[in-house]
Chain A
Amino acid sequence: MTLPVLLFASYADAFGARTVAVPVTMPCTVADVVLAMRSIPGGEKLPAKPLVAVNQAYAKPDAPVHAGDEVALIPPVAGG
């Protein structure tokens, strides 16, 4: 299946999109999603360990991802 992943700021620029459809096999983990994104054009610009949020909370690489989860890649934050 393909999992929609939300992109922001520099990552949205890298992929040229606000959302990217990532091909993954369920069940999978956050690390699997990031790995799959590296073969999508723009994915080569991702850092070694990009932050990922699942359902609007930071998630570790081994955290599970389920169909229907809201997954987002979080560039280095710079609020304030």
Chain B
Amino acid sequence: MTSQTGAQPLVAITHDPIEIAALLAAVSHASVGAISTFLGTVREVNDDRPVTGIDYEGYEPMAAREMQGIADELVTEWPGLRIAIVHRLGTLQVGDVSVAIACAHARRAPSADAMRRAIESLKVRVPIWKREHYVDGEWTWVDPTNAAAPMKRRP
């Protein structure tokens, strides 16, 4: 076991607030020289509309599988990578953390690159949806593929 610098990735869907410390603990190791973290949070404005909160819904078993697939692919690309991905579902308020990712590696470049890849992959393939609620009482399911407002999309 001492030669094993990688670890079983921590991949989880939760309906409770995400415990960031648990992610850091999961990826920490004596072999690690860099930990890159990403926290996705609920923003108060989207497409120029004030947002009051977001309901996150998921196809939970498949979402967990896709997140596991992302983790496994990244570990294959960067051997020794230790990764944790946790996504929260349910009703979140502005400022709440919806997704947390931690990528640890001996070197900073792989840790940062893997972290960026993890969140970008999650956004295109993990079956999770969000319904935004606006101050005027309206709501909508967010559709990132909606070509009707391409100029309003932000990276």
Query: Contact: A9 with B57, CB < 8 Å?
Result: yes
Chain B contributes a number of interface residues (CB within 8 A of A) equal to 29
Instruction: Given A53-B62, A56-B61, verify A79-B146 contact (CB < 8 Å).
Output: no
- What is the predominant secondary structure among interface residues of chain B facing chain A? mixed
Q: Determine the distance from Cα of A34 to Cα of B116 in the docked complex, in whole angstroms.
A: 34
Query: Contact: B62 with A79, CB < 8 Å?
Result: no
Chain A contributes a number of interface residues (CB within 8 A of B) equal to 17
Instruction: Given A9-B57, A9-B129, A9-B131, verify A79-B141 contact (CB < 8 Å).
Output: no
Q: Which residue of A lies closest to B120 (CB)?
A: A80
- List residues of chain B with CB within 8 A of the CB of A77: 123-129, 144
Q: Determine the distance from Cα of A78 to Cα of B55 in the docked complex, in whole angstroms.
A: 11
Chain A residues packing against B (C-beta within 8 Å) = 6, 8-10, 13, 53, 56-58, 72, 74-80
